[in-house]
Amino acid sequence: MRLLLLIPLLFLAPLAHADLKWDKLVQEFKRVPDDKEIEAHYVFHNTGTTPVTIKSVHSSCGCTTAKLEKKTYAPGEQGDVVLHFNFGDRKGNYLKGVIVTTDDKNVEPVTLKLYVEIHDPLTVAPALVFWRTGEAPTARTVQLTAEAAQHVKIKSVTSSNPNFTATLQTGQAGLNYTIAITPSSTAQKESADITVQTDFPADAPHAYTIFARIK
């Protein structure tokens, strides 16, 4: 008789499994290079009926690491995977992915995605101007554009080589500028670094370098 009572359990047993529910699988951030790093938290809950052990969190890039406080989570328990992305000298748009796998075959591996836009408050385009030897020494222009919401003023423009002149023209103060760079001659290979000193941010103003080369 007692054995008969156990029969329903045989049918229910396969239904017992872990189930991870994630608050957000994708997160997006916009940052400046000075931020240097970002930490994104991916919260999950074990909504299943058995404990779940996270076997691995695999990152596709050495610049991104993933941390977990512990590996095993009881039913109803919450945890979070912390993605840490070191910017280095990166600029632009980046997508970093981390694959999370568990010991439960019923829980499909999930990919946590981190989109980060690392944007300078001032864009310098191009950051390299060049002439071929013997070419006419005509001016090359470089556009400097500040982020729409950010006023960046140019305090000075200096050339490391007196054979290159750099002339600043202001479009809208704080928003856009043009620098015209001209070599006095292109007879031989030469180089100059043009330093653009800004007033932003106030506590540690940035300087930008434009490379001028006669190749």
Report the interface residues with other proteins, using CB under 8 A.
Answer: 60-63, 88-92, 94, 124-128, 130, 132, 191, 193, 211, 213, 215
Query: Of the two residues 8 and 62, which places its CB atom closer to other proteins in the complex?
Result: 62
Classify each residue of 83-122 as buried b or exposed e, where b means 16 or more C-beta atoms within 10 Å of its C-beta: bbbebeeeeeebebebebebebeebeebebbbebebbbbb
Q: Please, which residue, 43 or 61, has the CB nearer to other proteins?
A: 61
Q: Supply the minimum distance, in Å, between the C-beta of residue 125 and other proteins.
A: 7
**Which residue, 62 or 162, is less far from other proteins as judged by CB?**
62
Among 183, 179, 197, which residue's Cα sits nearest to residue 143? 179
Shortest gap between Cβ of 103 and other proteins (angstroms)?
27
Q: Write down the H helix ranges in the chain.
A: 2-12
Spatial distance between the Cα atoms of 206 and 171, rounded to a whole number of angstroms: 20
Whichever of 24 and 132 has its CB closer to other proteins, that residue is 132
Q: Could you give the CA distance from residue 42 to residue 166 in angstroms, rounded to a whole number?
A: 49
Nearest distance in Å: CB 67, other proteins: 20
Nearest-approach distance from CB 35 to other proteins, in angstroms: 15
> How far apart, in whole angstroms, are the C-alpha atoms of residue 107 and residue 104?
5
Please name the residue that has the structure tokens 């071929």.
132
Minimum distance of other proteins from residue 39's CB (angstroms): 18
Tell me how far apart the 2 most distant CA atoms of the chain are, in Å.
104
User: Cα 74 to chain center, whole Å?
Assistant: 34
Toward other proteins, which CB reaches closer, 124 or 166?
124
